[in-house]
Amino acid sequence: MHWKEFFASRVDLMLGPQIAFWIFFLVFLGVLAWVLFGLRNKEELHRIASLPLEDDTKGGSPDE
């Protein structure tokens, strides 16, 4: 049986991967739009970029 015949006879098997693809694609477009248009504020961008370098002053450390 050829793969086209296999999937033509089992259309319901392709519904899950198609839904998963469209969910992934829409989330990807949303993240891309947020990066391109949502990060125009330079102060916010600098705050996000410096997060890994900040001291952890909230929550305490195990040494305390």
Give this prediction's pTM. Answer: 0.54
Expressed as residue numbers, the domain containing 30 is: 24-51
Residue 6 identity: F
6 lies in some domain = no
Per-residue pLDDT 10s for the chain (64 aa) are 677 777 777 767 778 888 999 999 999 999 999 888 877 778 887 888 888 876 766 655 555 4
- The pLDDT of residue 58 is 64
13 belongs to a structural domain: no
For residues 39 and 48, what is the distance between their CA atoms, to the nearest angstrom?
10
The one-letter code for the residue type at 19 is I
User: How confident is the model at residue 25, as a pLDDT?
Assistant: 98
Q: Are 45 and 39 in contact (CB under 8 A)?
A: yes
Q: Which amino acid is it at 52?
A: P
Q: Letter for the amino acid at 33?
A: A
| 33 domain-assigned | yes
* Under 8 Å between Cβ of 43 and 49: no
